[in-house]
Amino acid sequence: MATADALSYEQARAELVEVVQRLESGGSTLEESLALWERGEELAGVCRAWLDGARARLDAVLEEEADDAEEEDDDAEDGEPG
C-alpha cells in the first residue's frame, strides 16, 4: 500500500474502488472495517486534490483564453491588426 500522497489519480481511484468493494462485501472485523474506512477517506482526499488541481489549471487556461480574446476585440475596435 503506497503513501496516498505518492499516488496518481488513477491509482488512488482504483484502490478506493477496492476499498469500497471490501467494505460492501462485509465479513471484516470492526477494526478492519475502520481501517478500510480511514484508507478510503485518505484516498478520496487524494482524488479530490487531483481533481481540484485539474480544475484550477483548466480555469486558468480558460481565463487566459478569455483575456486574449478580449485583447483581440479591443485591438479590432481600435483598428489595429489582431
pTM above 0.85, yes or no: no
Q: Where are the domains of the chain?
A: 13-21+30-77
Q: Which stretches in the chain have pLDDT values below 50? A: none
Pair 44, 51: CB distance under 8 Å: no
Closest CA to 20 of 44, 3, 4: 44
Structure confidence at residue 81 (pLDDT): 59
- Looking at residue 5, its pLDDT comes to 76
Q: How far, CA to CA in Å, does 10 sit from each of 5, 6, 63, 64? A: 13, 12, 27, 28
Other C-beta atoms within 10 Å of 46: how many? 21
pLDDT at 75: 76
pLDDT at 76: 77
